[in-house]
Amino acid sequence: MESAADKVAAARAELLAAYYEARDNGDAEGMAAAALRLPSSQYFGTDAGQVPALIHEAYTVAVGPASRCRLAAALARAWAYGGEARRAVAFAREAVTIADRLGDPEVVADALDAALLANWGPDDFAERPALSARLADVAAHLIDPAQRLTAQLWCLTTAWECLDVVAVQRRLRALDIIAEESGSARAAFFAASRRAMHALVTGDLDTADRLIAITHDLGGKAAEPDREAVVHSLVAARARQIGDTATLRSEAAAFEAYGAGEGVPSVSAEAAVLWLAADEPDRARQLLHRLTGAGLGTVARDVDFLLTVTSLVEVAATLHSDAIVADGVRLLEPFAGRAVLNAGAVTFHGVVDDYLHRAEQALGGPSATRWRDNAASAYRRIGAAWWRDRLIAPAAAMRPAPPVTVHLHRDGTLGWVVGADGTTVVLPDLKGLFYLRELLRSPGVESSVLDLSAAAPGHAGVVTESDTAEVVDRQALAAYHDRLRAIDVELDEAESWTDQAGLDRLRLEREALLAEVRTATGLGGRRRRFSSAHERARIAVRKAIASTLDRIELHDAPLARLLRDTIHTGASCRYDPDPARPVTWLLDSPTTEE
């Protein structure tokens, strides 16, 4: 039996033969007829090959404005399908301009479809609802079911992006009607696949299974180029929901191979998510590092921008790659409130707020709860039960970070070696590095700043009696005791009070005074003496550590963040390890005596 891929290849070969024959005969209209059908043989997101060149050739010799308009739209479509939307914009704009001048509904509908494809990036969302509404209005008066199908698919995509559940239902029913009225296998393929997506979103897995099978069969009958991509996307989404590890591994491997082979970053990013869901964090980490080597800022702002960035942020948050997560927050915040869809709106990947929540939670940011509540509200509204349940139990999805080995030691005259294995840098003899090393040697132990400062060259020195003064003088301390006695009397007599606020104020004042007395006195009530040398050491140590962390951040931002989170400075200093980020510290040079 001939496969769908074979049918697509045969159809393309037939179109190319017709095109070349028309060109050899100087038949511009024949060239246009074949060229207009070439984009339908493309696989979405993959390199367009010679298709744009052939369409452009027909475009340059087009006879009449209607033909030129359709060829400009086809050229825009070919570039957009090939992942080159920026090349498509000018041709789509020209197509709409000519179509509006001609006033032919069929030509206008074709041009609007091209304009939507060319403006499918994350920054063009404001234009899409108006374009899709206009396309639906024009297509409603057309007989051609293919153009009506295109219009309804655009409206459905926009409805999902807006999370408009009523509009989603309406457009799904419109697709059903087009398939029923036309008897077209292609229309039925799109109706079934989008119904399958909706069933997965709402957790109706029995219906989803039935529709996925129908989608597969209809895609073969219609020789739809994207059949395999559509079915793989739906099957992978279902496997995630039920935790089918075997299927997840199979789909992750397929996504990874396709993404690498065709150079499609969004598919590779999805593969990383699937590897993570399949309990293969090392495979997910490899893809994450491969895709983010130049940072998330290099992700193309095309139709798959949100899918690519959210997928990578999910993996990074789970695997504690904080620098990537922080970059993702910056990129995603402008798109809060939006749905995340794959190209063609075949599968739903949650809402941006969900990923912002996961990112802020991983970073310990203050906005995690707000993003979680926003996402939960969106999921309740559209009935996305699996996504909502996954959101309210995020801890289950978080994995402990693998232990890492980090160097922080001197290496003879070379300087200080700082950083994780394989990514170390050499820093000069900064005092803060001496202080950090001493603290890292004794986790959880309080270290006096005077003892700590002695660990570095040029420390503060010995404290003498002349360097000290009483923290609080006798007169002030006596006043504190007098006021405490007065407050105790007032509280003893307060049983009949109804002024709860007044009672609270007295208790707070009492606690504050007790804290001052504890600070000013030592064992046996003796007044503590405060050292000016001690204060100088406290300031010097704090500044030295802060300056050193700034220096480390220039080379290794995650390490600087870890140290800021776990090193505490003050009158005494302490290192409190973070169990979620285990580290093996190498504090002594393995080869050189200091």
pLDDT tens column, 167-189:
999 999 999 999 999 999 999 99
Residue 2 has pLDDT above 80, yes or no: no
Find, among 542, 277, 283, 307, the residue nearest to 431 by Cα: 542
| Residue 452: φ, ψ to 5° | -65, -45
- Provide the pLDDT for residue 474: 62
Per-residue pLDDT tens digits for 257-316: 999 998 889 999 999 999 999 999 989 999 998 998 878 888 988 888 999 999 999 999
- Predicted confidence at residue 489, as pLDDT, reads 73
Cα 87 from chain centroid? 26
Q: Is the pLDDT of residue 523 over 60?
A: no
CA–CA distance, 355 with 331 (Å, rounded to integer): 11
Q: Taking Cα atoms as reference points, which of 109, 47, 33, 131 lies closest to residue 83?
A: 47
Q: What is the pLDDT of residue 460?
A: 45
Fold of 404-464+537-586: Arc Repressor Mutant, subunit A (1.10.10)
- Which residues neighbour 419 within 8 Å (Cβ) at sequence distance 6 or greater? 406, 407, 425, 555, 556, 559
Which residues make beta-bridge pairs with 406? 420, 585
Residues 109/142, Cβ–Cβ less than 8 Å = yes
Q: Do the beta carbons of residue 197 and residue 234 sit within 8 Å?
A: yes
- Asked if residue 238 has pLDDT above 90, the reply is yes
pLDDT at 202 over 60: yes
Helix axes 385-392, 368-382, angle to 10 degrees: 160
* Cα four-point dihedral sign 143, 96, 53, 45: negative
Give per-residue pLDDT as tens, 309-336: 999 999 999 988 888 999 999 999 999 9
Query: What pLDDT does 518 receive?
Result: 60
Note the pLDDT of residue 50.
82
Alpha helix positions (H), 278-422: 281-291, 305-318, 322-332, 352-363, 368-382, 385-392
Q: Helices (H) and strands (E) in the chain — how many of each?
A: 26, 11
Interatomic CA distance for residues 436 and 408, integer angstroms: 9
Helix (H, G, I), strand (E, B) or coil at 417: strand
Predicted pLDDT of residue 503: 66
Phi, psi of 337 (to 5 degrees): 90, -5
Q: How far apart are CA 590 and CA 417, in angstroms?
A: 11
pLDDT of residue 25: 82
Tokens of 482: 């007098």
- 347-394 pLDDT, tens digit each: 999 999 999 999 998 888 888 899 999 999 999 999 999 999 998 765
Number of neighbours of residue 574 by Cβ within 10 angstroms: 16
Arithmetic mean of pLDDT over the chain = 84
For residues 211 and 213, give the distance between their C-alpha atoms in angstroms, rounded to a whole number. Answer: 5
Token pair in block for residue 189? 């393929």
Question: Residue 508: what pLDDT?
Answer: 65
Is 300 in contact with 265 (CB distance < 8 Å)? yes
Give the pLDDT mean for 188-194.
Answer: 97
pLDDT tens sequence across 93-125: 999 999 999 999 999 998 999 999 888 889 888
Query: Residue 379: left if φ>0, alpha if ψ -120 to 50, beta else—which one?
Result: alpha
pLDDT at 79 (0 to 100) = 84
User: How many residues are listed for the chain in this entry?
Assistant: 594
Query: What pLDDT is attached to residue 87?
Result: 87
Model confidence at 395: pLDDT above 60: no
Three-state SS for 583?
strand
Q: Tell me the mean pLDDT in the region 40-63.
A: 76
Rounded to 5, what percent of the chain is helix, strand, coil?
A: 70, 5, 25
pLDDT of residue 297: 87
How far, rounded to the nearest angstrom, does the alpha carbon of residue 419 sit from its chain's CA centroid? 26
Nearest to 302 by CA among 484, 83, 104, 520: 83
Q: Which residues contact 260 (CB under 8 A, 6 or more apart)?
A: 268
pLDDT of residue 396: 42
Nearest residue to 198 (alpha-carbon basis) of 226, 175, 225: 175
pLDDT band at 200 (very low <50, low <70, confident <90, very high): very high
Q: What backbone phi and psi angles, to 5 degrees, belong to 191?
A: -65, -45
Residues 6+ apart with CB under 8 A from 505: none
Element (H, E) at 408: strand 404-410
CB 591, CB 457: distance < 8 Å: no
Ranges 2-11, 16-25, 78-87, 431-440: which has the least confidence: 2-11
Question: What pLDDT shows up at residue 75?
Answer: 87
Map tokens 């914009």 to a residue.
Answer: 89
How far apart are the two ends of the chain, measured CA to CA in Å?
75
Distance CA 513, CA 516 (A): 5
Q: Is 567 strand, coil or helix?
A: strand
Higher-confidence residue of 508 and 200: namely 200
Distance (Å, rounded) from C-alpha 194 to C-alpha 28? Answer: 38
Contacts of 315 (CB under 8 A, 6+ apart): 269, 272, 273, 276, 284, 285, 287, 288, 321
542 token code pair: 């704090």
- For the chain, the structural domain boundaries read 1-119, 281-397, 404-464+537-586, 472-527
More confident position, 448 or 186: 186
Quick check: 379 and 387 in contact, CB under 8 A? yes
Q: Is the pLDDT of residue 592 over 60?
A: no
Among 554, 276, 578, 574, residue whose Cα is nearest residue 403: 578
Q: Measure Cα distances from 24 to 19, 20, 33 in Å.
A: 9, 6, 15
Q: pLDDT band at residue 465, thresholds of 50, 70 and 90?
A: very low
Which residues have CB under 8 Å from 441's CB, separation 6+?
587
Q: Using pLDDT thresholds of 50, 70 and 90, give the confidence band for residue 501.
A: low
The top-scoring range by mean pLDDT among 13-22, 370-379, 455-464, 577-586 is: 370-379
- C-beta separation of 560 from 407 below 8 A: no
pLDDT of 492 strictly over 70: no
